[in-house]
Structure 1
Amino acid sequence: MFTHHTNSRQLSELKNFGSNPGSLKCWLYLPTILAPKTPLVVVLHGCTQNAAIYDHGSGWSKLAEEKGFAILYPEQQRANNANLCFNWFEPGDIQRDAGEALSIREMIEHVVESHGIDPGRVFITELSAGGAMANVMLATYPELFAGGAIIGGLPYGTASGVGQAFERMRGQNAPMVSQLQAAPKTAASGWGPWPSISVWHGTHDETVKPINAKQIALQWVGSHQISDAPDVIATINGHSRKIWLDESGKEVIEVNLIKGMGHGVPLSFTAKAPLGTSGQFMLEAGISSTARIARSWGLADEADVAIAEGVFEPGAERSSAPSGIEAVITKAMAYAKPDFVRNVEGRDDRGVSKVINDALRAAGLMR
């Protein structure tokens, strides 16, 4: 297992990525070692934030450097929204091939083509208005994404204008289930397959009421054509997790309700090597959404989750192994793609040592 080292490299601004009708800025983080077919995570900040603030708090680029994937940060400008919120409620910004949604699509396509990104491993996430805008992108361009994670966000296509946006945030005048489920299908008629969806929401969120998490799940069970009722209900670190499976048994939707948490990103700062930094909207919850979301996408592993949440194996001293060996194992882990078999709490039943051995064999370092 490996510690999350402080990442001193900066985000770089990307310009001339397309017509940019939404007038957004774009920032990019590339790991030091950029392997062919590198995955990409698109991260959308919340209101009053910018790309650098969100990155520092959530720890995404720190994890990206360690695990070897790229990060794309669209960034809102005050000329578009005085509070730096993505305009998830403005019809001109949330339709396919229009406004902010098109700007983000152009950024993604530019980075995929320019840096040899794996187009089959593009993911999108993040908080509040950014979470709502992530849902916009998942609904309008489902073919671009293998998965998405929505933190403290809202369902797609249920608000038109600021007034309705505040109603939805307060959980008032909830849309009908038929309306929720029709919105993505109308937005991207004929496209697919649909991405996997991960929802994270605080049970005590007064900014975006938790009812929105349920509505997002209802919206996407319609697209995936599965039952409204979850197939598995579990508890992780004291928090509720509901899981929906498709016909093949694959997890396609999850809803994580974070007990006692308000509006923000659930992280764990009590760990010896925490991933992320405490601050506004970066909240202690004893669970690392960044690490767990990355793991669900195959970008991190159980060891990374354990480190980010402060769960260490007895006697596992990170300083005992020579740095050269650590580097070899890190590289092996990055290139290995073991077929994880997880139980309902998301743990690897085979154990971390088995994963490392598989990784070393895949790298040709062990028979």
Structure 2
Amino acid sequence: MSSQRPRFTSTCSRFTLAAWLFAGAVGCGGLDAEPSVQAEPELGQSELGLTQVTGFGSNPGNLAMYRHVPTGVAANAPLVVVLHGCTQNATGMELSGWTAAANVYKFYVVYPQQASGNNATSCFNWFEPGDIARGSGEALSIKQMVDAMKAAYSIDASRVYVVGFSAGGYMAPALLSVYPDVFSAGAINAGGPYKCATSMNAAFSCMSPGTDKTPAAWGDLARSGYAGYTGPRPPVSIWYGTSDFTVRPMNGTEAMEQWTNVHGIDQTPDTTETVSGFPHKVYRDGAGRALVETWEITGMGHAVAFDAQYNFPGSTTACGSTGAYVTDANICAVYHQAKFFGLTGGGGEPSGDTTPPTVNVTSPASGTTVSGAVKVVVSASDAVGVARVELLVDGSPVATASSAPYEFTWNSQGVGNGAHTLGARAYDAAGNQATDSDTSVTVNNTGTPTPTTATFTSIAAEDGYLKANADGSAAVLGTLTNLALGRGTDGKYNRSFVSFDTSSLPDGATVTRAYLTVSYSSGSGDAWSTPAGNTVVIDVKAGTFNAASTEVTDWAAAADATAVASIDKFASGAKASADFSGAGLASINRTGRTQLRLRFSLEQTATQYLFVKDSTNAVLTVVYTP
């Protein structure tokens, strides 16, 4: 006798169509005979790009298994399990883009498929206790599919991931909870927390309006999936449409609370940004590892987001196709989820690694007494590359450097005499971060000369912007009143120049601090988001890059100091840069012009630009002692 779960085939007139959509026919009628079980995996029919695999285990959930194997997959490759929603099937979920992504990034994909005999509208039974418990039901069937793939192919057991939409978006966290030893990370699309419901009636309340529990209560439910487990828990990416009236957005919030609690971190995001126009939040641990992220797709209903205009980097493969519950929202969810899993390294975009960089303040030594201008030296390294380093004073960032050597001139007169902590925070290209904050210094500025602050407004006649070709060939001279940064509609990259007469500085002055303030004028798109980790940086020239007025050759002229400070993202008002690095301070001209070149650190991949105001709206602030 098979251990498979019997199939339910009768319908129940007392349930509405909506009830069938999400709850199915469990417990509503007679039983069919139990199907036989094959001992070994066998290949069955092919649906589009998928091949059915039968006999993959005892299959107690009575599910179908489809798999996709790209050409050229290397040994020890990852595996992604993709779970469809109600009224969908395996080929319906292919439209979201996972098969296309697998062909580019070379990983295996398994598409479990629900049978209508289990659920009248082919929903995974995410609310049935027997289907979401370790070692039973549909959860075990899906785990057996993973085991079958490991037996048939060279798969890295530490890189197995699960993604789900709707009913699959509730089944995915169930698998993460009951099999944290199998799945390394997961993504929830229009789903919710594990054990949000354990009955049919509770499922409706869970989906709409949602079920509110404390983070600790949700975390306990997830941990109960595998009681006694002490190993690592999987990171989770959570996606929801703000206009989803089937699975309310509250489910995304509750899922975030569940998985942040599981990881022992708080519910305050460590990174808040806008990507392709949509809010993105990242929750990290003390080592800077991204463990939970949320994406709010504003205006989208009950669907998986894709982008019809997006091609996976390095290929002409588009991200998904329009279909039932697959919506063109101008953002490729599959790409961002694959990146979160670490699958996109080598695909032409920053690696999705989760290993933070190393960082350490090497000078001054802990216990040193300092005064006046203090040179702070930081060492930072990362296997992929350090994107930037921030200098921290008493835990707050005061300066940023985008390239090595990471050296800062800190004006200790900005704090009171006494004990203070110096630290540094390093970011890599994937957004991972690490912090060092164990350097204690004593500030003693008794008798130190009081610094002088001078401000300079830019010379409008000498300000300007240049549009350089992407291939580095001849630039075009810009004539706009405001200064342009980013990529224009013609595919060329805008770089801007602001010029200051700093000759009033005393010749022997020691410059201890400098920063640039600019004002927002207008923009198009999110020029900071593509590529990820982008920032505006400043190059400095003591004198002029070429002539006093802007010239075509200025865009490529050598600077005396490059990337001396960065300007964080802003979309209104005025914004001050970080303090200039030591090299930047040394390049401020005390006898004539000081010119600054503004540019994005990374070139945009689409039309995205920023306009800032010049003349009196661009201010260089210099702090010095005679």
Give the TM-score normalised by the residue count of structure 2: 0.48
Amino acid at match of 1:169: M
Q: Is residue 237–residue 287 contact of structure 1 (8 Å, CA) maintained in 2?
A: yes
Partner residue of 1:67?
A: 105
- What's the CA shift string for 1:258-294, capped at 9, x where partnerless? 1111110111113475311012211121110011111
Partner residue of 2:309?
A: 270
Partner residue of 1:17?
A: 56
Q: Is residue 131–residue 154 contact of structure 1 (8 Å, CA) maintained in 2?
A: yes
Partner residue of 1:293?
A: 337
Alignment pair present for 1:347 and 2:532:
yes
Partner residue of 1:121?
A: 159
Q: Is residue 127–residue 197 contact of structure 2 (8 Å, CA) maintained in 1?
A: yes
| Structure with greater strand percent | 2
Measured after TM superposition, the shift of residue 341 of structure 1 is: 1.8
Residue 155 of structure 1 aligns to a residue whose secondary structure is coil
How far apart in 2 are the matches of 1:304 and 1:124? 24
How far apart in 2 are the matches of 1:338 and 1:199? 25
2:244 is aligned, of 183, 191, 205, to 205
Q: Is residue 302–residue 348 contact of structure 1 (8 Å, CA) maintained in 2?
A: no
2:284 is aligned, of 245, 259, 262, to 245
Measured after TM superposition, the shift of residue 301 of structure 1 is: 4.7
Measured after TM superposition, the shift of residue 342 of structure 1 is: 3.1
- Pairing of 1:150-229 with structure 2 (within 5 A): 150-191=188-229, 192-229=231-268
Question: How big is the alpha-carbon RMSD for the aligned residues of Structure 1 and Structure 2?
Answer: 2.3
Question: Closer, same or farther in 2 for the Cα pair 1:232/1:338, shift >3 Å?
Answer: closer
1:100 is aligned, of 115, 138, 152, to 138
Measured after TM superposition, the shift of residue 343 of structure 1 is: 4.4
Whose relative contact order is higher, 1 or 2, with alpha carbons under 8 Å and at least 6 apart? Answer: 1
What count of residue pairs does the alignment treat as equivalent? 315
| Structure 1 gap ranges (5+) | 1-7, 307-336, 353-367
- What's the CA shift string for 1:310-333, capped at 9, x where partnerless? xxxxxxxxxxxxxxxxxxxxxxxx
Amino acid at match of 1:279: G
Partner residue of 1:47?
A: 86
Measured after TM superposition, the shift of residue 348 of structure 1 is: 5.5
Alignment pair present for 1:78 and 2:166:
no
Q: Is residue 140–residue 187 contact of structure 1 (8 Å, CA) maintained in 2?
A: yes
- What's the CA shift string for 1:193-230, capped at 9, x where partnerless? 00110000001100100000000010011110011211
Question: Closer, same or farther in 2 for the Cα pair 1:193/1:338, shift >3 Å?
Answer: same
Alignment pair present for 1:88 and 2:126:
yes
- What's the CA shift string for 1:45-65, capped at 9, x where partnerless? 11100001211x112111211
2:327 is aligned, of 267, 283, 293, to 283
Measured after TM superposition, the shift of residue 178 of structure 1 is: 3.5
Amino acid at match of 1:165: A
| Structure 2 gap ranges (5+) | 1-46, 351-382, 386-427, 433-528, 535-600, 604-626
Give the TM-score normalised by the residue count of structure 1: 0.81
Measured after TM superposition, the shift of residue 172 of structure 1 is: 4.1
Q: Is residue 88–residue 136 contact of structure 1 (8 Å, CA) maintained in 2?
A: yes
Partner residue of 1:333?
A: none
Measured after TM superposition, the shift of residue 236 of structure 1 is: 0.8
| Structure with greater helix percent | 1
Considering only CA atoms, is the larger Rg found in Structure 1 or Structure 2?
Answer: 2
Partner residue of 2:550?
A: none
How far apart in 2 are the matches of 1:65 and 1:149? 20
Q: Is residue 131–residue 151 contact of structure 1 (8 Å, CA) maintained in 2?
A: yes
Aligned-pair identity (%): 37
- Pairing of 1:141-156 with structure 2 (within 5 A): 141-156=179-194
